[in-house]
Amino acid sequence: MNKSEFLMLQLIIEEDIAVLTKLEKELAGGGLYPEITSTTYKGVAIDDLLITRMLTSILHDYYNAIEHIFKNIAQNIDESLPKGSDWHSGLISQMSRAVPGTRPAVITKKTLELISELKGLRHVIRAKYGLNINAKKIYLAVNNLHLISKYFKSDLNAFIKTMNELYATCQGDGVVDP
């Protein structure tokens, strides 16, 4: 990947970060972010099935935006996307490891743990079509979302900074020379 290709990837990543921020603001507007501080959301009790399903959808979208970032990095920088039935877990794990001569780790082990919990919840959401979801698990995930946001965005900013520093030292064609 050359410097201009990385800059294009960086723009795509920034668009996905904007999606995460928008979801956070949507929750914050109802007193549900950074932690649930309200017993209602826009006049409806937060333990109402409709609100639980809404929160479930937001958590699903949040994870998908993170996974989209990871897939873009895996495809465009690593040139390798995990395969098989557990590819989602493999992708998160791949992002927690540096690729020598190519890129630093995208996320720390702490962020790996937090995102893995969200991935597990997303799997349950998809398997049950949003029905019969344990509301307490959804509320706990919403309360933990600020931690995922904090660690993930910090890790991603460090990753982008390091990659930009690597490309700043490139010669000629802008390709990182390990």
Q: Has residue 178 been placed in a domain? A: no
pLDDT given at position 171: 55
Distance between CA atoms of residues 135 and 133, nearest Å:
6
pLDDT exceeds 90 at position 8: yes
Q: Has residue 69 been placed in a domain? A: yes
Q: Has residue 131 been placed in a domain? A: yes
Total domains, the chain: 1
Averaged pLDDT, 105-129: 85
pLDDT given at position 120: 79
Identify residue 27 by its one-letter amino acid code: L
φ, ψ for residue 55 (rounded to 5)?
-65, -40
Q: 173 or 32: which carries more pLDDT confidence?
A: 32
Length of the chain: 178
Q: Has residue 174 been placed in a domain? A: no
pLDDT exceeds 70 at position 38: yes
Q: Please, which pLDDT band fits residue 178 given cuts at 50, 70 and 90?
A: very low
Domain ranges, residue 160: 3-168
Output the pTM of the full model.
0.91
Identify residue 157 by its one-letter amino acid code: N
Q: Has residue 177 been placed in a domain? A: no
pLDDT given at position 177: 46
Q: Do residues 74 and 63 touch, judged by C-beta distance below 8 A?
A: no
Q: Has residue 84 been placed in a domain? A: yes
Q: Has residue 13 been placed in a domain? A: yes
pLDDT exceeds 60 at position 148: yes
For the chain, the distance separating the N- and C-terminal CA atoms, rounded to the nearest angstrom, is 12
φ, ψ for residue 101 (rounded to 5)?
80, 0
Q: Has residue 176 been placed in a domain? A: no
Q: Which helix (H) or strand (E) holds 45?
A: strand 44-45
Averaged pLDDT, 126-131: 63
